[in-house]
């Protein structure tokens, strides 16, 4: 691996690692271990950690237009994704700490309904490392959007999961490498500089 990153200008985004979403993933304990390891490595090197969660207030639910596919899905069981529901809380094993970025979104990608861009730019972040559930949801949407916003991108293949293993593999092997470097949590130690 030849790439290096400067932790001072890098953020690890841990996306949709929420109680109810983690519970849908096979072997979630191992996934949580790897995500927690990535967070610990970023903190040890002085990098920024950010948390993205999907959750809806009553006002968010009421604002969906009738044409919204997202609105239709969420409205089918609004209590499960309500902002106050225990299922939407960030999993305690990857819980935020003081100084972390935390955003709540109401769409699939991390940027479209949040102030994530402003928080990242305000901290001088130009490189993102992404971990999330699911590969075909928040991670795919965020890779595309972040690439268009000119971030340098890395995706943690082993701290990202999807309920469909074939889709996960296809995205990691064929789609993401066009816009991001696909790495593992173990690779983080090799690519960190300036710490």
Mean pLDDT, residues 49-69: 95
Assess if residue 1 is contained within a domain.
no
Tally of domains in the chain = 1
DSSP 8-class letter at 82 = B
Closest by CA position to 131, among listed 73, 172, 88, 175: 172
Mean pLDDT, residues 143-169: 97
Backbone angles phi, psi at 24, to 5 degrees: -85, -5
Assess if residue 160 is contained within a domain.
yes
Assess if residue 70 is contained within a domain.
yes
Predicted confidence band at 3 (pLDDT cuts at 50, 70, 90)? confident
Assess if residue 117 is contained within a domain.
yes
Say what the pLDDT of residue 80 is.
87
Mean pLDDT, residues 145-155: 98
Which CATH number fits the domain that encloses residue 122?
3.40.50.850
The vertex-83 CA angle with 82 and 88, nearest 5°, equals: 85
Assess if residue 2 is contained within a domain.
no
Q: Is the pLDDT of residue 195 over 70?
A: no
Give the tens place of pLDDT for each residue, 64-118: 999 999 999 898 888 889 999 999 999 999 999 999 999 999 999 999 999 999 9
> What pTM was estimated for this model as a whole?
0.95
Say what the pLDDT of residue 108 is.
95
Predicted confidence band at 2 (pLDDT cuts at 50, 70, 90)? low
């Amino acid at each position: 691996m030849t790439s290096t990153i400067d932790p001072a200008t890098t953020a690890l985004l841990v996306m949709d690692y929420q109680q109810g979403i983690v519970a849908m993933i096979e072997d979630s304990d191992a996934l949580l271990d790897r995500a927690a390891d990535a967070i610990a490595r970023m903190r040890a090197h002085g990098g920024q950690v950010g948390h993205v969660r999907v959750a809806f207030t009553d006002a968010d639910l009421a604002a969906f237009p009738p044409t919204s596919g997202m609105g239709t899905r969420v409205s089918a069981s609004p209590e499960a994704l309500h902002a106050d529901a225990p299922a939407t809380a960030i999993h305690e094993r990857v819980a935020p700490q003081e100084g972390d970025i935390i955003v709540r979104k109401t769409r699939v990608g991390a940027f479209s309904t949040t102030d994530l861009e402003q928080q990242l730019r305000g901290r001088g972040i130009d490189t993102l490392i992404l971990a999330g559930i699911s590969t075909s949801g928040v991670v795919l949407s965020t890779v595309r959007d972040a690439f268009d916003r000119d971030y340098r991108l890395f995706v943690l293949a082993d701290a990202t999961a999807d309920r469909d293993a074939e889709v996960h593999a296809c995205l990691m092997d064929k789609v993401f490498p066009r816009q991001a470097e696909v790495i593992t949590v173990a690779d983080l130690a090799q690519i960190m500089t300036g710490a």
